[in-house]
Structures are given as C-alpha cells and as structure tokens.
Amino acid sequence: MVASLGMTNLLALFIGLYLVAGGIALIREPDFYRQALVGLRDDAVAGFVTGLIAFVIGAVIVSLHNTWDTVLAAFVSLIGWVALAEGLALIAVRRDFLDLAVRLAMTGTVLRAVSIGSVVIGVLLVIVSLS
C-alpha cells in the first residue's frame, strides 16, 4: 500500500507518524524535552548538528516537493520550509532561538497543547495520506 502512494501522500504519512510519535513522547516525558531544549541551547556542537539535520531534511523536502496546489501538498511543503528555516536558525542563532523555545516550553500548558496538537495533526495526516 505504501509503495503506491504518491510523493505528497508518502511525505504526509511520514510527517504524520513523526508528529504522533513526538506528541506521545512529549505527553509521557515533558521534563525530558525541557531538558533537551536546554541541552541543545547550551551545547554548541549538539545544537549545530541538530540544525544541520533539520536543514538537510527541510532542503530535501523542499527540493523534492515544493507544491502548493492542494491543502495536503501545501502543508507538506510548508513543513519542509519550516524545517529548513529551523535548521538555519539553529546554525546561525542557536542560543537566541533556543532561549525563546525554552521560555515558551517551560509552561505545562504550552507543552500539553503542543503535544496534543502534534498527535491530532499527525493522526489526521496519516488518515488523509492513506485515503
């Protein structure tokens, strides 16, 4: 079934699965993710490598899929551009970028909203990508 999916649906499926897994992990271990953000902020090498990975993932998605003709295609393309921008921010202004993220993520309300939103959007992407 997966082999027959087009590029948009395949990328949406993978992004959806990633969002579901990340959202569940964030619900289960919010303190770990707070510490991870602080760790990335304080460790230049880890922050750079993470930025490089995000940049490459975003660049690959944008290179292979920069299509805006349907809602699903536009969402996948937007995720690619966001990943690319996040990677550049982590490389160029890591500390400032992650200071903001740490301040926002330190509240339980924000973490819970992000985690639940991630799971919901992920499930929707998986369902839409497979239909």
User: Does the pLDDT value for residue 40 go beyond 80?
Assistant: yes
Length of the chain as a residue count: 131
CA proximity to 6, closest of 56, 57, 63, 76: 76
Q: What is the pLDDT of residue 3?
A: 67
Domain ranges of the chain: 14-22+29-130
Q: What is the pLDDT of residue 1?
A: 63
pTM of the full structure: 0.87
How far apart are alpha carbons 79 and 61 in whole angstroms?
8
- pLDDT band for position 2 (50/70/90)? low
- pLDDT band for position 81 (50/70/90)? very high
Q: What is the pLDDT of residue 15?
A: 97
